[in-house]
Amino acid sequence: MAVDTDRAGNKPLIERRSIDYIPEVERHGRLFSQFTLWMGANLQITAIVTGALAVVLGGDVFWSLIGLLIGQLLGGGVMALHAAQGPKLGLPQMISSRVQFGVYGAAIPIVLVCLMYLGFTATGTVLSGQALGQLFGVSDSAGILIFASVIVLVTVLGYRVIHWIGRVASVIGVIAFVFLFWRLMNQTDVGALLQIRHFSWSSFLLAVSLAASWQIAFGPYVADYSRYLPSSTSSVKTFFAAGAGSVIGAQVAMILGVFAAASANGQFAGHEVAYIVGLGGTGATAALLYFSIAFGKVTISTLNSYGSFMCIATIISGFRGHLKVSRLQRLVFVLFIVGAATLIALLGQHSFLGAFKSFILFLLAFFTPWSAINLVDYYCITRERYDVPALADPNGRYGRWNILGISVYVFGVLVQLPFISTKFYTGPLVAALGDVDISWIIGLVVPAAVYYVCAKKWHSAVPDHLILPTERDSDAQPEKSGASRVAAQA
């Protein structure tokens, strides 16, 4: 069914839908918006800091760049596979987890996803507060509060405004990054930095893990921003549009971070925003760079807040039995989410860098098994054949608790513990591996293999085709679906 890509112009500015199915008559948008959204989301200061960590924590420039690129491609592939689900299902990403975990059981990984969004929103708000504080001549804390207000507004407006900001952020980000790279090349002997090579597996795999975790962390909400595309949209093209935007944007930002940290002589940590802006100059130029940094953070922080809203609504709707969320409820959820993230940012703004590194690496233990299970089920077991109305029915096909999915998920988390190396926890096998953290690799491969084998043997009946709500039923509570899924029923 062909859908006019200009339909968005006839839609209200404030998004009406939330976690419910997007009917075909409301589908709109073009694939290029996926590319610009994810490029804009990655051309920002937190990605610069993430790349810089590879050098700050002991790596050299040459091998850090290679490690980061490998991590981008691996993690970006996982992220883009999730993005391709959006147009086919017309649903936010975490709703589809009910197929693998049950209508109630999906709350288990979703709660952890909410914590991830909270952490990323808070750490991004710290850096944005620094930028706005410098731009307006106020304290960092005041800058944090200004930024939080903007995020609330954009998140409440929703999908269309988020994509528009993504396009603008891409343009501003490209201009700012080209200028900063030009200034960096004039101030730094890049060739000399590339010649300093001291390879070590621990530093190299740290760089791979930093980039991979950055990309994989988008997996739980990337389909939220592709779900309005027409259902006829090519999955392959969606994969490459979202994946390329994210990988290119993140790698460019992290390259700048690597070179900035390597040439900073220890002045980068603790003064990340000021140092990056200092590369560009002072006066009006510095003011424009501070603005570009703050605006770039609007995109990704809004994605995090919007994703948090989707997750909380998904958890509550699972126990209520329907998918509708009012605009007032949406506002309350967003205020709660951004308020909590702002409080964390205000309390933790002076110990940002070390806490952020530990945070993003520790997250991998909880999100890679979820990604593995979701992707294997969607692409290899059910093969896109979901019963969408049943996703809101605890007594339907997918049941309340899917013991198979939950068990494999818990196993996937536990099997990583011996290989995790963070400030929160260090596994017993880390030292034997030369202090190399390979937990995220274990967390992707092992649960994927176990789930595939078990689901092939014990998976209950899969629909013959994708079952979607009718256009008429999409605004009403879904009907009860068919046969119960005995193996998944509590």
Structural domains present in the chain: 25-364 (1.10.4160.10)
User: Is the pLDDT score of 472 beyond 50?
Assistant: no
HSE on the CB side for 171, CA within 13 Å? 6
Q: How buried is residue 479: exposed, middle or buried, by Cβ count under 10 Å (0-12/13-18/19+)?
A: middle
CB atoms within 10 A of CB 418: 16
How distant, in Å, are the alpha carbons of 79, 195, 448 from that of 83? 6, 38, 18
Sign of CA dihedral 83, 86, 88, 94: positive
Give the DSSP per-residue string, 20-67: S---GGG----HHHHHHHHHHHHSSHHHHHHHHHHHHTT--HHHHHHH
HSE on the CB side for 367, CA within 13 Å? 29
Hey, is 485 helix, strand or coil? Answer: coil
Q: DSSP character for 482?
A: S
Q: For residues 407-428, give the mean pLDDT.
A: 88
pLDDT, one tens digit per residue, over 325-380 is 667 777 787 888 888 888 888 877 666 545 665 665 577 688 889 999 999 999 99
Q: Please tell me the predicted confidence (pLDDT) of residue 465.
A: 87
Higher pLDDT, 453 or 8: 453
Q: Could you tell me if 57 and 198 are in contact, meaning their C-beta atoms sit under 8 angstroms apart? A: no
Q: Please tell me the predicted confidence (pLDDT) of residue 113.
A: 79
| Rounded distance between C-alpha atoms, residue 334 and residue 318, angstroms | 19
Q: In the structure, what pLDDT confidence band is assigned to residue 68 with cuts at 50, 70 and 90?
A: very high
Q: Could you tell me if 40 and 166 are in contact, meaning their C-beta atoms sit under 8 angstroms apart? A: yes
Q: Could you tell me if 223 and 86 are in contact, meaning their C-beta atoms sit under 8 angstroms apart? A: yes
